[in-house]
Every structure is written in C-alpha cells, then in structure tokens.
C-alpha cells in the first residue's frame, strides 16, 4: 500500500528574540532650541530627515532581503521534503528497526538546501536518521498543527541561539481526489539555518554601514541648503542693523522669485516708505525748530522795549486811577510771562539744534544750591534744606542753577509747602559716585497717568488749567540740562504724600555737551 502526502500553504511565525527600540523624549525642548542658532537647527533638521530616510530605507531593504532569503531556503526545503516523502512507501503498522532508520537516512541524504535530520512518529514508535530518536527542537505546537492539518506545516524556531527550520509531514491515505485519511505516521525534518543567519547578519551590518556614510554625505547638501537659506537672512540682518544705525537708504539685492525674494522686496518697500516718512518728519522738525528759533529771536527786541516801558508804567501805577493801574500791572505781568516763554523757547531750540554747551567747573554743590535759593528769595519757611557741606562736583553752575530753580519753583507753584531740597551722594557701581539731589513738596502728588508725561513740553497735568505762571517748558528744560551733565532725572510720589523729583549726576562728570 502506497501512502500519498500533500502539504498546504505555509504558516509563517515570527523569530524569537526580535529587537525592539525605545526612544527617550527631551524634557526641555524649548530651552534647547533657543540654545541653537538657525544654521544649527537647519542642519539638525536636514540630518534628521536624512537619518529617518536612510534608516527607513535600510530597515525596509533589510527586512525584504531577510524575508526573501529565509523564504527561499524554507520553500526549497519544504518542496524537497514533500517530494521525497511522497516517493517513499511505508508498510503499516510501522515497526521500529534498522529498516525504518535506513529509509529515514535515505530521505535525509537527499535534503536541500542543507542536510536534514528526519524523525518519524507513529503511535509510540520513535525513530530518526540521527543519533536521538526524539528531537528537542520540534515543539508541541508543531505536533498539534500536524495532527490538525493533514496537508503539513512548518515552523522556524531558535534553540540555544541556533536557528532551525522544522517541517511536519503527516502521511495520509488518499481516499478520493478531494479527500484524505490520516495514517497516524508523521515525518519531521529538522534543518539548521546557520548559513542563512550568517547572511542575515551580514545584511544587517551592510544596512548599518550604508546608513552612516549616507548621513555624512547628506551633511554636504545640508550645508549648501543652510547657506542658501541663511545668506538672504544674514543680508536682511545686516540691512536691519544698518538701518538701525541711521542709514535709511539701505536696500537688499533681490534675486529670484521665491519666498526669501518676496521678503527682500517687502523689506525694501518698507525701508523706502520709512525713509520718506523720516525725511518728511526731519524736514518738518527742522522747519518747526527754525520757526521757533526765528520767532524767539525776532521777539527779543520788541520784548526788551516792552519790558522797559512796563517797568516805567509800574513805577507810576500808584498815581493812576484804579482801573488804569490794574490794566498796567496786568500788561506788565503778561509781558514778563511772554519774555520768560521766549527765553525758554530759545533754550529749547538750542537743545534741539545740539548747540547747547556745558561749561563745567568744580563747585561746592551745597553752596551753589543756597545761592540759587537766595537769588529767588526762597529763604523763608516755604523751603527747607538738607545740604551737607563738603560735597564737590564738576557742574555747569548756570545750568545746575536752572535745574534747581525750575524744580523748586514747580514744587511751590503746583505742590504744597514746605518744599524740601536734600543733597547726598551715592555709589551706584564700584568706583562710580553719583550726586543725588531731591526736591520734595507736601502737596497731593502727581497723578499716576501724568507721571509718564511730566517732562513733556507744554504738558499740563490738569487739562482744565489753560494758564499757569510758568511757560510749560520748565521741566523739559530741566530734563535737557540734566542729560547734558550725563545724568538722569525721575519723578515720583512719596509714600507719605507729595511729589519728589530725583536728579542723579555723576560726581565727576565729564563735559558731554556741545
């Protein structure tokens, strides 16, 4: 009786010990990105894309080559084992002996692509073409698959680090063209896949060694791409810095029609509009400054005559009737205000034209402040002083006199008495001493919304106050005089109430005006 054998579709399984990679996410990505420049980020992005592409290509190539290599070996082995098993006849019931082992050795000698070890299992009978009748490589899962599937099955396993291909071929009776009956005899072929594993390892090494040079080669186009992107960005940076230094005629050469070229065109258009606007503003400012200066100069001569006339009228006002005397005194007061306004406008125009000069000299600061107060007759209880002697500094006495006079006069007009003038020194940085002058009043203080504008020209903290005793330029002139000394001035409110103006001037200021 001849037993026919069939094998159905192969059932593939995954290799044991497959490697799995783990990635670690960065904890402070935002801080790390800020630590890199644009060139570095572009190169890293390019290398990342190249690395992912090279890695993916290598992995896919390795997987396909490995699959093809193993499938070729297993298909050859399965087909060869099936053909040789079908050509072999067994007499049932099967008895273990030399004849059975010779048949199994004959099948094993014909193994392709590598030698097999053939095992036979029939009930309690166990035989093989090797030394051991029972294989330790054949798994229980394969035996169950052989009993369940009369067409045969196979499995790839790893035993002690050695890969094997195991094939199960159930011997069946062919009862009809479309049906078979199991005989109970199962043949197993065990074949080492050592050569295939060596080839697979070689493929892995080749894929890895091919990916690393690919990354090195990808660095060259990455540098070229980064340079092509950064060149217009660098030119834009240089142009912006040039414009920031005052060269408003700076333009960027436009090449191409990409997004960077559009950015360059937009920059040039914006720079052109800015240059025109600034030129118009400068021309308007120059006209306004020239107008104020010309008007002030033209008014000085008639104002001098008017002041002389009003002085004479003031002397004779007591001999006039009440209405005439009141009118004379009003004209005299308004003429005085106009004269102060003209002088302040001329002073502001000199600052605007950068024609103001600082004539510094070493002076006793406390004595200078006392002279300022005495000349304005502010020696009564309305003004208190805290002026330690012995503090000397390089100052322009005339301009420092204007600073103190404007601050004290402003405090007397708009604050509350008494007004305190305090003098002290302070070391801001090692080796840098600063002269601190504070003028404080006892009034309601400065409203918070007025503090940012307190030194603006003609600014009025009270919008309803259309007229005042001053010109509206006193604090602006004070600010310019302090800056001319290389110092600073700030306004604020004291916690206990009242405004405070703090002037800080380097104790040994160099001449910065001109």
User: Which pLDDT band holds residue 37 (cuts at 50, 70, 90)?
Assistant: low
Task: Write out the residue limits of the CATH 1.10.287.130 domain(s) in the chain.
Answer: 248-356
pLDDT of 192 > 80? The answer is yes
Per-residue confidence (pLDDT) for residue 396, from 0 to 100 = 93
Per-residue confidence (pLDDT) for residue 30, from 0 to 100 = 43
pLDDT of 10 > 90? The answer is no
What number is the average pLDDT over the span 163-180?
78
Residues 83-132: tens digit of each pLDDT: 777 777 676 666 677 777 888 888 888 778 778 888 888 888 888 888 88
Pick one of 3.40.50.300, 3.90.650.10, 3.30.565.10, 3.30.450.20 as the CATH number of 361-513: 3.30.565.10
d(CA 94, CA 104): 13
Per-residue confidence (pLDDT) for residue 4, from 0 to 100 = 34
Q: What length is written for the chain? A: 514
Cβ-Cβ contacts under 8 Å for 176 (sequence gap 6 or more): none
Calculate the average pLDDT of the chain.
Answer: 78
The radius of gyration computed from the CA coordinates of the chain, to the nearest angstrom, equals 52
Place of tokens 């790839």: 156
Task: Write out the residue limits of the CATH 3.30.450 domain(s) in the chain.
Answer: 90-193
d(CA 163, CA 125): 27
Per-residue confidence (pLDDT) for residue 439, from 0 to 100 = 96
DSSP 4: B
Asked if 169 and 26 count as a contact pair (C-beta separation under 8 A), the reply is no
Q: How far is CA 242 from CA 297, 431, 462, in A?
A: 38, 35, 42
Asked if 105 and 95 count as a contact pair (C-beta separation under 8 A), the reply is no
3-class secondary structure, 439: strand
Of the candidates 493, 474, 473, 471, the residue with the CA atom closest to the CA atom of residue 415: 493
d(CA 246, CA 323): 60
Question: What's the CATH number for 248-356?
Answer: 1.10.287.130
Residues 294-348: tens digit of each pLDDT: 776 777 778 778 878 888 877 777 777 888 888 888 888 888 778 777 777 777 7
Question: Model-level pTM?
Answer: 0.47
User: Which pLDDT band holds residue 425 (cuts at 50, 70, 90)?
Assistant: very high
One DSSP character per residue, 255-312 reads: -SSSHHHHHHHHHHHHHHHHHHHHHHHHHHHHHHHHHHHHHHHHHHHHHHHHHHHHHH
39-48, 479-488, 501-510: least confidently modelled range: 39-48
Question: What's the CATH number for 90-193?
Answer: 3.30.450
Structure tokens at 305: 């005559």
Task: Write out the residue limits of the CATH 3.30.565.10 domain(s) in the chain.
Answer: 361-513
Asked if 385 and 419 count as a contact pair (C-beta separation under 8 A), the reply is no
d(CA 484, CA 478): 10
Asked if 141 and 188 count as a contact pair (C-beta separation under 8 A), the reply is no
What number is the average pLDDT over the span 182-208?
80
Structure tokens at 63: 């997987």
Cβ-Cβ contacts under 8 Å for 285 (sequence gap 6 or more): 352
Place of tokens 């996410």: 25
Residue 333: phi, psi to the nearest 5?
Answer: -65, -45
Give the helix/strand (H/E) hosting 143. helix 140-148
Per-residue confidence (pLDDT) for residue 79, from 0 to 100 = 80
Q: How far is CA 274 from CA 101, 247, 282, in A?
A: 101, 11, 12
One DSSP character per residue, 314-356 reads: HHHGGGS-HHHHHHHHHHHHHHHHHHHHHHHHHHHHHHHTT--
User: Which pLDDT band holds residue 411 (cuts at 50, 70, 90)?
Assistant: very high
Per-residue confidence (pLDDT) for residue 8, from 0 to 100 = 38
Per-residue confidence (pLDDT) for residue 16, from 0 to 100 = 35
């Amino acid at each position: 009786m001849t037993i026919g054998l069939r094998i159905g579709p192969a059932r593939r399984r995954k290799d044991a010990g497959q490697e799995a990679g783990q990635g670690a996410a960065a904890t402070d990505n935002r801080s790390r990105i800020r630590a890199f420049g644009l060139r570095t980020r572009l190169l890293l992005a390019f290398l990342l894309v190249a690395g992912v592409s090279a890695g993916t290509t290598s992995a896919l190539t390795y997987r396909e080559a490995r699959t093809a290599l193993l499938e070729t070996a297993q298909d050859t082995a399965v087909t060869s084992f099936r053909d040789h098993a079908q050509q072999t006849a067994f007499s049932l019931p099967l008895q273990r002996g030399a004849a059975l082992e010779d048949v199994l050795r004959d099948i094993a000698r014909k193994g392709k692509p590598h030698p097999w070890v053939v095992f036979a299992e029939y009930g309690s009978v166990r035989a093989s073409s090797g030394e051991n009748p029972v294989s330790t490589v054949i798994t229980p899962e394969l035996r169950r698959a052989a009993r369940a599937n009369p067409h045969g099955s196979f499995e790839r396993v790893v035993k002690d680090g050695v890969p094997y291909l195991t094939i199960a071929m159930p011997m069946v009776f062919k009862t009809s063209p479309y049906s078979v009956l199991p005989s109970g005899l199962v043949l197993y072929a065990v074949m080492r896949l050592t050569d295939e594993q060596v080839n697979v390892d070689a493929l892995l090494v080749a894929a890895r060694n091919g990916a690393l040079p690919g990354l090195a080669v990808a660095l060259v186009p990455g540098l070229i791409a980064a340079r092509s992107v950064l060149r217009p960005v660098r030119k834009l940076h240089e142009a912006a810095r040039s414009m920031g230094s005052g060269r408003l005629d700076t333009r960027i050469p436009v090449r191409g029609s990409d997004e960077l070229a559009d950015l360059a065109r937009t920059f040039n258009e914006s720079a052109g509009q800015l240059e025109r606007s600034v030129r118009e503003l400068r021309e308007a400012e120059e006209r306004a400054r020239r107008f104020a200066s010309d008007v002030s100069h033209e008014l000085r001569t008639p104002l001098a005559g008017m002041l002389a006339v009003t002085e004479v009228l003031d002397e004779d006002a007591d001999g006039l009737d009440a209405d005439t005397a009141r009118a004379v005194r009003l004209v005299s007061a308004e003429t005085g205000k106009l004269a102060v306004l003209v002088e302040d406008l001329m002073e502001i125009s000199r600052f605007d034209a950068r024609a103001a000069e600082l004539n510094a000299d070493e002076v006793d600061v406390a004595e200078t402040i006392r002279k300022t107060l005495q000349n304005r007759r502010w020696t009564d209880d309305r003004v208190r002083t805290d002026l330690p002697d012995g503090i000397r500094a390089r100052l322009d006495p005339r301009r420092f006199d204007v600073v103190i006079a404007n601050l004290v006069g402003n405090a007397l007009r708009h604050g509350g008495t008494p007004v305190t003038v305090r003098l002290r020194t302070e070391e801001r940085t090692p080796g840098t001493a600063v002269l601190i002058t504070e003028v404080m009043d006892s009034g309601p203080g400065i409203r918070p919304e007025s503090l940012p504008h307190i030194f603006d020209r003609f600014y009025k903290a009270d919008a309803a106050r259309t007229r005042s005793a001053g010109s509206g330029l006193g604090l602006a002139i004070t600010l310019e005089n302090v800056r001319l000394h290389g110092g600073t001035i700030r306004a604020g409110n004291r916690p206990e109430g009242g405004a405070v103006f703090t002037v800080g001037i380097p104790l040994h200021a160099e001449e910065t005006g001109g």
